[in-house]
A and B are shown apart, each in its own frame.
Chain A
Amino acid sequence: MKLKLITAVTAAMMAAAPAMADLTFSALSYRTGPYAANGIPFADGYQDYFTLMNERDGGIGGERINLVECETAYNTEKGVECYEATKGQGVLVYQPLSTGITYQLIPKATADDIPMHTMGYGRTSAKNGKVFSHIFNYPANYWDGASIAIKHILDVNNGDISGKKIALVYHNSAYGKEPIRTLEELAKKHGYELTLLAVDHPGQEQKSQWLQIRRERPDYVLMWGWGVMNSVAIQEAVNIRYPMENFIGIWWSGSENDVLPAGEGANGYKALTFHNLGSDYPLYADLQKYVKDAGKAAGAGDQMGTVLYNRGLYAAMLAVEAAKTAQGIHGTAQITPAMMRDGMEALEITEEKMAALGLPNFGPTFSVSCENHGGDGFGAVKQWDAAAGEWKMITDFFQSDQDVLNPLIEEDSAAYAAEANITPRCE
């Protein structure tokens, strides 16, 4: 009897498990927890793109996509649990959407021969493919973000910011501290004075930091925040009447969620981005037809066109393009995680490719190589128009200061290689 029961349970579990022929992607999402408001649109965009691929194209190269969603609540331990619980299902690539989870998974994913894509977050020096064989952070990383913000300030000031005061309001975590080194290096180069203002998780109370800003009146304020910290910071900036056009957030501090609570006062606030905005793209017509109208939209289906939805969409698009590249390289539609890694390493995003996908000028063009897993470091600046209730791009995509960043990346990745006993590859 016991044997029969075990057999029946095993058979049921096998029937419930996804067909191994499917291409399995994971979504380590956070629809709950302190950062759910931001996790939901990203997860919806990510999921909807894969749904579109299945419904419109029949998957990738004829293989249907199986998306495995696991809730992390933006909690590092849960994220690692999700990884361990799903990796056996043949997940082609992980996108943890958390710098904390990324740091934990770097050695694990590398050992398991599974690639990981940390788009605009995670360990910056993972750009160095010679050391980080399985980690990719194209098209841009935090240090690119810091440099792009400073370049924009340089542009606004006719190339001279010596003597200017720039404050960094940052989330007191590994994520928030990422740009400090770069900003310090750039301060040496351009002669500005950097002030650091840490804000503890979750960032609901920032009065001290903004009183200091009110007193010291820095010429520019940069922000590396996430979740409620962003909206509170923007509200506090409005309260002290800080000029919003001089307040610039990283791409994780630039969603509708961050500016809407401050209402009209948030008008003029700037943020960086590595992808375009809105829903005015041919792909959206297909999303409407094959996903939303078909009742297959993720979540409540009300996030389409928002900043973080577009980011999820973009992340999924890059994953699909890498899978197609892998299929081309290996001559099989049924790729493995190791093959997917090869596809990511040979990924090339051109304007023609984005236009053909229905996303013209949606992101910067870039190519990935064995040495360079981070793309070319292009980003743009957008600005919040409170009256219209939308973000507007105010620059084209432009490149970060590679002369400053490349030595930093070399230095940091060399330290990691020594610590993890890694012999650089790509020779």
Chain B
Amino acid sequence: MPEQLFFALEVILNGLMAGVLYALVALGFVLIYKASGIFNYSQGVMALFAAATLVGIMDGQVPFSHLINAIFGTNVHHFGWHIPALLGILLTMGVMVFLAWAVNRFVFKHLVNQEPIILFMATIGLAYFLEGLSDLMWGGQLKTLDVGLPQGMNATLDEVTFNLFGYGFFIDNLDIVASIVALILVVTLTLYSQYSKQGRALRAVADDHQAALSVGISLNFIWILVWSIAGFVALVAGIMWGAKSGVQFSLSLMALKALPVLMLGGFTSIPGAIVGGLIIGVGEKLFEFTLGGMMGGATENWFAYVLALIFLVFRPQGLFGEKIIERV
């Protein structure tokens, strides 16, 4: 096969991997939307907050140290410990569960039965609040995140494909890990929502709040649960992206990459987030590869939205979204 074709295949393969990373962010949106009908604008910032908290806990950073020092004239910055990644992840998960409780207790509990646009606006406010909270707690400086994930070119694939085709394929080890993690997440979440008691309750709440309440399902519990799971997904996404580029504000902008994935895959489907991510990942990479050069490059950001819009025209609910039929 000509080298150009191999390169196209390599682009497709890397597009699939990039798509998995987009899907990781999109998953968090889907979970919350499915359970509460809220489009959570703050999902990207939650990933930033989770990753910054993980680094802060692992490095023994004193939260709010800048504020504490300014008020009390002290000079405390670190507790002087460094804890293992796994324990750090567990503690961070605890913080995300607390955040889920706080968000419901102080924001959404007061907004039950409000219009979706009000709930959406509340998540915009939450995003900016979390942005500030993250800065205040852990500082705005770049933090390096090392939880032991492998990075760099997968030498085995490079070698094997070179021996077979005379062209070594490139795949980043981190992308392989991300794909495996995403696969486990999707399978677990799908099984959980289909077969567990809480999962069924979650679906019942998504279908009809009032009906779910009437059969004794605690709306409060379900919302805390789903925000906690979304917090976990945000943590996973934050780890994957943060390992790549360091933990910094830009992590929160990942949400921009998740939007076309949601438009394409549907807002209510967990597998849809993955399939949408893969289509967007491959589509934008192939477009950049084939036509990007003629257009001055950097086409990926806007082309992802064009692709999503094309799908929307033919399937407004997204590939896997639920079709809404309202009868007069």
Contact = CB atoms under 8 A, between A and B. Distances in A.
Contacts of B254: 204
A11 to B, nearest CB: 28
A239 B153 contact: yes
Q: Is the interface of B mostly helix, strand, loop or mixed?
A: helix
Interface in B294-328: 296-298, 300-301
Contacts of B172: 239
Contacts of B15: 207
Contacts of B142: 37, 231, 257, 260-261
Q: Which of B66, B139, B146 has the most CB atoms of chain A within a 10 A radius of its CB?
A: B139
A302 B17 CA distance: 37
A200 B245 contact: no
A156 interface: no
B135 A36 contact: yes
Contact of B298 (A37, A39, A172): A172
B298 A199 contact: yes
B245 A232 contact: yes
Nearest to A176: B298
B151 A239 contact: yes
A299 interface: yes
Interface stretch (B6-14, B96-104, B259-267): B6-14
B170 interface: yes
Interface in A251-307: 257, 260-261, 263, 265, 295, 299-300, 302-303
Interface string B230-264: 00000000000100111011110110010000000
B141 interface: yes
Contacts of A35: 249
Given A196-B297, A214-B170, A228 B285 contact: no
Contact of A172 (B17, B246, B289, B297): B297
B131 A32 contact: yes
B285 A207 contact: yes
Interface string A207-250: 11101001100000000000110011001001111000000000
A252 B153 CA distance: 27
Contact of A208 (B69, B73, B140, B285): B285
Interface string B7-30: 100110011011000000000000
B8 to A, nearest CB: 10
Interface residues of A, number: 46
B75 to A, nearest CB: 8
Contacts of B140: 31-32, 36-37, 39-40
B292 interface: yes
Given A207-B18, A239-B172, A232 B244 contact: yes
Contacts of A215: 7
Interface residues of B, number: 48
B41 to A, nearest CB: 16
B161 to A, nearest CB: 13
A232 B245 CA distance: 5
A199 B301 CA distance: 10
B77 A37 contact: no
A202 interface: yes
B153 A200 contact: no
A203 B249 CA distance: 12
Contacts of B301: 200-201
B300 A208 contact: yes
Nearest to A38: B142
Interface string A95-128: 0000000000000000000000000000000000
B288 interface: yes
Interface in A19-64: 31-37, 39-41
Which 8 residue pairs of A and B lie closest in terms of their CB atoms, listed nearest first?
A: A261-B246, A198-B298, A36-B140, A37-B142, A198-B297, A228-B250, A172-B298, A257-B142
Interface of A: 31-37, 39-41, 172, 196-205, 207-209, 211, 214-215, 227-228, 231-232, 235, 238-241, 257, 260-261, 263, 265, 295, 299-300, 302-303
